[in-house]
Structure 1
Amino acid sequence: MIQQDVSPPLRFSKFKEDWDQVLFGSFITSRVEYPKLDCNFPLYSLTIENGVTPKSARYERSHLVKSGEKAYKVVYPGDFVSNPMNLRFGAIAKHHGTEKVLVSKYYDVFHLDSSVITNFVEMYFSTHRTLGFYNSLATGTLDEKKRVHFSDFVTFKRLFPSIDEQQKIADFISAVDKKISLLKEKHSLLEQYKKGVMQKLFSQEIRFKDENGNDFPDWEKGILGDLSNKISNKNKDESVTNVLTNSAKSGIVSQTDYFKKDIANQSNLGGYSIVEKDDFVYNPRISELAPVGPIKRNHIGQGVMSPLYTVFRFRDENVLDYLELYFTTTQWHRYMKSIANFGARHDRMNITMGDFFNLPIPVPSKGEMEKIVGFIKSLNKKVDLVAEQLNQTKTFKKGLLQQMFV
C-alpha cells in the first residue's frame, strides 16, 4: 500500500508539523433555504469557468413563479455552491457577490464555520488532487452520470494544515491571484485601446505624417474586385487533404486541430476549394465575434476549404498586412449589412458574389500604409507580451497549487 503524504512538497519554512485528517462535515453546514414567490433575488448559475455567475437575460422571472418556490435555493454572500454531477470536474465555487441570489435546487449550497480559513478551503476544493479524490469516490453506473452526493461529500476526510498555515497559503495564493487580475485588466485595456485606435486610423480620424512632417496624399477608394481575384481552384483529384476552417476567434486553422476531430469527409474533398498561403477567406457564418462573418488571411499554407467559403487573392502583396488588419475592424460591416439578404438561414449572410466583390476598400499611400501597419504591430507586441505574462503567472499558480496542497 502506498503511504499518503502527510505534508506538501512546498511549504513555508516556519511550518514543520504534519497535516492532519479533517472531516469536511466538521466545518461545513448545509443551507437549504427556498425563496418566497415575491422575492426579487437575481437568478444565478454555476459554471466551472466562471463560478457562481448571473444567468443570461433570457431567463425571465416568470419562470420562477411557474416552477414554484422550491425550484431554486437561496445563496448568501460567502456561501459555496456545488453541482454534484460535475463536482469531480471542478463545479464548486464561493459566491463572491454582496447580495443574496438564487440557484437551481439541484445544486448543493453550504457555508463554512470559523474553524477553517475560507480562502484556503476555496482553493483546496478545486486542486487537481482534490478533484481526483472526488472522481475516485463518485458513484453511478455510467461514467457520464457519476456524481458526488452531498451526504457523501461531508463524510470526506482530507489532510489540512493548521489555521496559521492555511492563512499563510491563502494569503500567498491570493497575492498571485491579484497579479493575475491586474494582468487581465491590463490586457483588456490594451485590447480596448488597440481596437479604438484601429477604428480611428482606418476611418482616417487619425492620420500620420511623412518623415518631413507633411500630410500624406488622400486615400483612394478601392473596390475588392479591382484589388483581388476570386480563387475557384477545386481539389478535383483530391490530392490536397489538409482541411482548413475559418474561425472568427482563431482565424484560419486546421479543422482537425480546431474541432479536435475531422468534420469533412476525407474521401470526398473533390468539391473543396484549394487555398494557398496569403489567400483571404470569407466565411458567411455570423456570430457574436463576427456579426457579418469573418474575413481572415491564410498563414498556414496550402489546404482545402468548404465551398461555402469565398476565397480571394490580392494582386499586390504589399497590401496584405494592411488589409489583414483592416478586416479586423468594423469599418466594412455597414456595407455588408446593406447588401445582405437574410433568408431562412438567419445564422448566415446571404450575399451575391457581385455585391461581395464590390466591397469598398480604403487604400492609403504606401508610406502611410506602412506607418499604420508598423504602429498596430507594435501595439500587438505589447498585447502579446502582457498575454504571455498572464499565461506564465497562471502556470506559476497552477504549479503552486500542485506543490502546496496534498
Structure 2
Amino acid sequence: MREDIKERIEMIKRGEVPEGYIETKAGIVPITWEKQYFRNLFKEKKRMTNELNKYPLYSLTLEKGIVEKSDRYDREHLVKKDEDVYKIVEKNDFAYNPMNIRFGAVARNKTDKAVCVSGYYDIFEVANTEDMKYMDDYLVSYPMIKYFNRVCTGSLDEKKRVHFSQFLDFNLPMPMLSERKEISQTLSAFNRKIQLQERLIANKNEQKKYIMKNLLSGKKRLPEFNLEWKTKKMSCFFTERSESNAINCELLSITGSGIIPRSEIEGKDNSSEDKSKYKKIYVGDIGYNTMRMWQGVSAYSQHEGIVSPAYTILKAKDNADAKFFSYLFKVPSIIFLFYRYSQGLVDDTRNLKFENFRKIKINVPLDIEEQKAIAKILSQADKEIELLEQQLEILKLEKKAMMQLLLSGIVRAN
C-alpha cells in the first residue's frame, strides 16, 4: 500500500480530515463527490401476487442474498386465493428488509427469473442499469451500514428499522458515474474469484458425496479388503456414555457440522447454571442431539468437555472406528433409519434415545482396518474442502478491505 494512502487512513482513524476530503453525515469522503438523492437513483416497485406456482417463494438472507426458501417454509396453504401477500422481485430488482437493512439485509435478484418474497420487504430497481453492480456492494458497505444504524427509528432496539420513504430521501455524497463504474469493475474481479472458489468447493462437496455413497454402502470396495460386510445392530459397536459431575470441563455444543466450544457460537447462552447433570464427552466419542438425530445432527468429537443432558453420547467399542461411523451417520438412508426408530407423535417431539438407537441394524465392514481406511479417505476430502474454504475466506476479506477503501474514497478508482 502506498505511503500516502496509509497516512490518509491513519488521519481518518484519528478523526482528522485529509486534504481534498470533507466530513459529511455519511463519513469523510472526497470533496469532489457530489450529493445524490436516492429517489433519483432508485425506483420503487410494488407488484403483488399469491401465485407461488408462477413466482417461486424466495427469502432475503444476510449471508447469501436472495435465495430460494426450503419446502419447510412453504406457506402456500396459508394464503387465501383472494389475497396478494407476496411481492414480485424481477430479475435484477433489489429487495431489502426494513428491520435488518442496518445489518446488511439488501440484495439484488441475481437469478434468471422473477420470484416472490414476503410482502414486508421493499422492492426497487436502479434508475440507471450501469449502476447495478456498483449498488450490489455500495448498499452493504461499511459506511452505509453505519449510516443505516444512525438513521433507523424505533423505540426498542429489536424494532428499529429504516422505512423506504426514509431510504428514498437519503441525500449522500457519491463519486461520478464514471468512477462508480470503475469501482464496480474492480470489485467484480474479486467477485469472479470468489465465485470460482465457491464452485470449486461445491464440486469438492459433490465428489465427497459420491465417495461416501459408494464406500459407505459397500458398492465399491478398497482393493486391499475383501471380507464380506455384515448386518449388525448398533449395540454391537457402541455403548452409551453417561458420565456427569464434570463441572470444570469446557462446555461444548453439538451441531450438524461438528462439536465445537459453546464460546465460539454467537447468541445467548441458554445453558443451565448448574452443570452437574451435564454429560462428559471425550475425544473419539460421537455425540448426537436426541431430538434431532433424525435430521442428521451428530458429530465426531475432537474435544473433551461437557454437553447438555439433551444429547446422547456414544462410546465406540474396540471393533468400531468412531470416525467411520460418524460419516456413516450422515448417509441419507441411515438418517432415515434414525427417523424410523425415533419416537414421538409429531416431528417436533421425535427423539432417538439410546435404547432405540441400539436396536438399529446396519450393514458395515467388520474389519476395523477397512473402517479406518474408508474414514481416512473421507477425512482427506474434508481437509481439502477446509483448505478451499479458508482460501475463500481470505478472498472475501481482501474484497471487504478493497470495498472499504474504494467505497469511502480513501483510494480513488480513476
- TM-score, normalization by structure 2: 0.79
Work out whether residues 294 and 338 of structure 2, in 8 Å CA contact, stay in contact via their aligned partners in 1: no
Equivalent of residue 179 in structure 1, options 180, 188, 193? 193
The 2-side partners of 1:307 and 1:228 are apart by 18
Q: Give a deviation string over 1:131-186, Cα, whole Å, max 9, x none.
A: 10121122333332222233332232323223222112112211211221221122
Q: 1:132 to 1:275 in 2, by over 3 A?
A: same
Alignment of 1:252-271 (within 5 A): 252-258=259-265, 260-267=267-274, 269-271=275-277
Alignment of 1:152-171 (within 5 A): 152-171=166-185
Work out whether residues 222 and 363 of structure 1, in 8 Å CA contact, stay in contact via their aligned partners in 2: no
- Long gaps (5+) in structure 2: 1-14, 23-29, 409-414
Q: Give a deviation string over 1:257-312, Cα, whole Å, max 9, x none.
A: 33644323222x333332222222232222xxx535544222111x2333343323
Q: 1:150 to 1:2 in 2, by over 3 A?
A: farther
In the other structure, the counterpart of 1:233 is 243
Q: Give a deviation string over 1:41-79, Cα, whole Å, max 9, x none.
A: 445443333434445552328726343x5x454444333
Q: Secondary structure at the match of 1:117?
A: helix
Work out whether residues 255 and 261 of structure 1, in 8 Å CA contact, stay in contact via their aligned partners in 2: no
Q: Give a deviation string over 1:324-358, Cα, whole Å, max 9, x none.
A: 33333345345444544333664423456165256
The 2-side partners of 1:327 and 1:106 are apart by 40
Work out whether residues 273 and 306 of structure 1, in 8 Å CA contact, stay in contact via their aligned partners in 2: yes
The RMSD of aligned alpha carbons is 3.5
The 2-side partners of 1:234 and 1:94 are apart by 50
Pair 1:125-2:143 in alignment: no
Equivalent of residue 303 in structure 2, options 279, 300, 303? 300
Pair 1:282-2:288 in alignment: yes
The 1-side partners of 2:181 and 2:119 are apart by 32
Q: 1:75 to 1:270 in 2, by over 3 A?
A: closer
Aligned residue identity for 2:269: D
Work out whether residues 293 and 349 of structure 1, in 8 Å CA contact, stay in contact via their aligned partners in 2: no
In the other structure, the counterpart of 2:79 is 63
Q: 1:168 to 1:62 in 2, by over 3 A?
A: same
Pair 1:22-2:22 in alignment: no
Q: Compute the displacement of 1:38 (Å).
A: 12
Pair 1:245-2:253 in alignment: yes
The 2-side partners of 1:241 and 1:175 are apart by 47
Q: Secondary structure at the match of 2:264?
A: helix
Q: Compute the displacement of 1:191 (Å).
A: 0.9
Work out whether residues 234 and 357 of structure 2, in 8 Å CA contact, stay in contact via their aligned partners in 1: no
Work out whether residues 229 and 363 of structure 2, in 8 Å CA contact, stay in contact via their aligned partners in 1: no
Aligned residue identity for 2:256: A
Work out whether residues 202 and 326 of structure 1, in 8 Å CA contact, stay in contact via their aligned partners in 2: yes
- The structure 1 segments of at least 4 consecutive aligned residues displaced by more than 6 Å after TM superposition are 4-8, 36-39
Work out whether residues 296 and 330 of structure 2, in 8 Å CA contact, stay in contact via their aligned partners in 1: no
Work out whether residues 77 and 98 of structure 1, in 8 Å CA contact, stay in contact via their aligned partners in 2: yes
The 1-side partners of 2:200 and 2:288 are apart by 32
Q: Secondary structure at the match of 1:373?
A: helix
The 1-side partners of 2:93 and 2:347 are apart by 44
Q: Secondary structure at the match of 1:296?
A: strand
Aligned residue identity for 1:246: I
Q: 1:352 to 1:140 in 2, by over 3 A?
A: closer
Q: Compute the displacement of 1:4 (Å).
A: 8.2
Aligned residue identity for 1:243: L
- TM-score, normalization by structure 1: 0.80
Work out whether residues 199 and 330 of structure 1, in 8 Å CA contact, stay in contact via their aligned partners in 2: no
- Long gaps (5+) in structure 1: 9-15
The 2-side partners of 1:246 and 1:260 are apart by 15
Percent same amino acid at aligned positions?
A: 25
Indicate the structure (1 or 2) with the bigger Cα radius of gyration: 1
Work out whether residues 33 and 175 of structure 2, in 8 Å CA contact, stay in contact via their aligned partners in 1: yes
Q: What count of residue pairs does the alignment treat as equivalent?
A: 385
The 1-side partners of 2:264 and 2:52 are apart by 49
Q: Compute the displacement of 1:386 (Å).
A: 1.5
The 2-side partners of 1:226 and 1:84 are apart by 55
The 2-side partners of 1:255 and 1:247 are apart by 10
Q: Compute the displacement of 1:119 (Å).
A: 1.1
Work out whether residues 27 and 115 of structure 1, in 8 Å CA contact, stay in contact via their aligned partners in 2: no
Work out whether residues 243 and 255 of structure 1, in 8 Å CA contact, stay in contact via their aligned partners in 2: yes
In the other structure, the counterpart of 2:334 is 332
